């Protein structure tokens, strides 16, 4: 038997940890690589191309994993910040399907693994800003939502895309309370959804996404408040009309459809001008579009961002 020490092993031969941790993805990736090699493709090229790591917030200290997974807003499991971690363990995330509906050329019900597997999972370090005045810096694992949109092929009439969370009060005890009109619904303009920063998230800190963080699949839009980042998605619908989103329906004077981070527009019950990172005591200035203005401000050119908040 040949045993090689780590110094003898080229980096191109090492399986990326994120692929390994997702066992089903790892097995399917191995099968795909085997087929490609049989067809004459270069194995080093395939491995090297599997996991690029673009980062958008490299200069900031990451929020600890324990805080990211232990301090959450996920009202389906309770309104307390620690409730999701306490109550989400019973959620069954395999098998899981996502229904694609509406103004789209390829409507279907897809297995989540079928939707996730073809795309490279990139590590994207984004800030997550919540309206209560706290924020985190998190290494999400995922890919641009535009990959799915291209796959589903919205029709020329589609202007918006609506997302719906699982409704199952037996697994999600928070849905037994009328805090919101369940199931949870969010929406984006199609150009927002197609922006490369809009991310389908399947993991965090190089691990599979925990239930309390929105397993098996959620969205992140880093320039918007956290409630736009819908979790545990079961339905995607393309439409020509602005969707009625959960928080906008529940409290339209507090939560606008766009939910762009804007320090100049206060929440009726608190200021948005400053924020506090989880784990820090000092408060810092809130940045317009959460600091992503150079990337996304053009999406809202000419709009009154006090009216469309």
- For residue 93, tell me if it sits in a domain: yes
* Spatial contact of 175 and 168, defined as CB atoms under 8 Å apart: yes
What was the pLDDT predicted at 40?
Answer: 31
Q: Are residues 219 and 163 in the same domain?
A: yes
What was the pLDDT predicted at 58?
Answer: 58
What was the pLDDT predicted at 46?
Answer: 23
Q: Are residues 46 and 68 in the same domain?
A: no
Q: Are residues 265 and 229 in the same domain?
A: yes
Q: Are residues 145 and 8 in the same domain?
A: no
- For residue 306, tell me if it sits in a domain: no
Dist CA 297 CA 309 (whole Å): 13
The last residue of one of the domains, among 33, 51, 69, is 51
Q: Are residues 166 and 274 in the same domain?
A: yes
Range of the domain at 25: 1-51
What was the pLDDT predicted at 277?
Answer: 94
Q: What is the mean pLDDT of residues 12-32?
A: 38
Q: Are residues 151 and 47 in the same domain?
A: no
Q: Taking the CB of residue 273, how many other CB atoms lie within 10 A of it?
A: 14
Assigned token pair, 268: 């009726």
pLDDT for 63-94, tens place per residue?
A: 999 999 999 999 999 999 999 999 999 999 99
What was the pLDDT predicted at 60?
Answer: 85
* Residue 32: pLDDT over 70: no
* Residue 12: pLDDT over 90: no
Of 49 and 272, the structure prediction assigns the larger pLDDT to 272
* Rounded CA Rg of the chain: 20
* Residue 5: pLDDT over 80: no
Q: What is the mean pLDDT of residues 274-282?
A: 91
Assigned token pair, 18: 């994120």
- For residue 308, tell me if it sits in a domain: no
- For residue 309, tell me if it sits in a domain: no
Q: Are residues 82 and 113 in the same domain?
A: yes
Q: Are residues 203 and 111 in the same domain?
A: yes
Q: Are residues 182 and 197 in the same domain?
A: yes
Complete DSSP assignment for 35-84: HHHHTT--HHHHHHTS-----S-TTSPPPPHHHHHHS---GGG-SSTTHH
Q: Are residues 19 and 118 in the same domain?
A: no
* H/E run at residue 296: helix 293-296
* Residue 35: pLDDT over 90: no
- Specify the number of domains making up the chain: 2
Return mean pLDDT, the chain: 85
- For residue 218, tell me if it sits in a domain: yes
- For residue 307, tell me if it sits in a domain: no
pLDDT band at 57 (very low <50, low <70, confident <90, very high): low
Dist CA 291 CA 27 (whole Å): 38
Q: What is the pTM of this model?
A: 0.82
Residue 294, C-beta contacts closer than 8 angstroms, at least 6 positions apart: none
* Residue 301: pLDDT over 90: yes
pLDDT for 218-276, tens place per residue?
A: 999 999 999 999 999 999 999 999 999 999 999 999 999 999 999 999 999 999 999 99
Dist CA 143 CA 51 (whole Å): 11
Q: Are residues 30 and 108 in the same domain?
A: no
pLDDT for 181-214, tens place per residue?
A: 999 999 999 999 999 999 999 999 999 999 999 9
Q: Are residues 118 and 265 in the same domain?
A: yes
* Spatial contact of 271 and 286, defined as CB atoms under 8 Å apart: no
pLDDT band at 162 (very low <50, low <70, confident <90, very high): very high
- For residue 305, tell me if it sits in a domain: no
Of 56 and 290, the structure prediction assigns the larger pLDDT to 290
Q: What is the mean pLDDT of residues 274-302?
A: 95
* Spatial contact of 205 and 107, defined as CB atoms under 8 Å apart: no
CATH number at residue 237: 3.90.420.10
Q: What is the mean pLDDT of residues 160-186?
A: 98
pLDDT band at 59 (very low <50, low <70, confident <90, very high): confident
Of 162 and 44, the structure prediction assigns the larger pLDDT to 162
What was the pLDDT predicted at 97?
Answer: 98
What was the pLDDT predicted at 62?
Answer: 95
What was the pLDDT predicted at 55?
Answer: 61
């Amino acid at each position: 038997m040949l045993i090689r020490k780590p110094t003898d092993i080229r980096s191109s031969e090492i399986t990326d940890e994120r692929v390994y941790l997702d066992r089903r993805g790892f097995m399917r990736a191995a099968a795909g690589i085997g087929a490609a090699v049989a067809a004459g493709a270069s194995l080093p090229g395939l491995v090297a191309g599997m996991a690029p790591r673009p980062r958008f917030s490299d200069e900031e200290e990451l929020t600890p994993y324990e805080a990211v997974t232990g301090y959450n807003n996920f009202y389906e499991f309770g309104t307390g910040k620690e409730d999701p971690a306490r109550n989400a363990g019973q959620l069954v995330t395999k098998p899981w399907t996502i229904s694609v509906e509406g103004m789209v050329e390829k409507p279907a019900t897809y297995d989540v693994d079928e939707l996730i597997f073809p795309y490279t999972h990139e590590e994207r370090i984004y800030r997550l800003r919540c309206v209560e005045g706290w924020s985190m810096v998190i290494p999400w694992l995922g890919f641009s939502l535009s990959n799915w949109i291209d796959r589903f092929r919205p029709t020329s009439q589609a202007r918006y895309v609506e997302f719906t969370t699982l409704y199952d009060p037996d697994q999600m005890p928070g849905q037994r309370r009328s805090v919101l009109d369940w199931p949870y619904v969010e929406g984006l303009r199609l150009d927002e959804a197609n922006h490369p920063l809009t991310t389908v998230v399947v993991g965090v800190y190089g691990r599979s996404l925990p239930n309390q963080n929105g397993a098996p699949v959620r969205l992140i839009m880093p320039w918007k408040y956290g409630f736009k980042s819908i979790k545990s998605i079961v339905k995607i619908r393309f439409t020509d009309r602005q969707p009625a989103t959960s928080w906008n329906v529940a409290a339209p004077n507090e939560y606008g459809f766009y939910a762009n981070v804007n320090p100049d527009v206060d929440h009726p019950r608190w200021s948005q001008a400053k924020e506090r990172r989880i784990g820090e005591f000092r408060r810092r200035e809130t940045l317009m579009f959460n600091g992503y203005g150079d990337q996304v401000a053009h999406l809202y050119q000419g709009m009154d961002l006090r009216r469309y908040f």
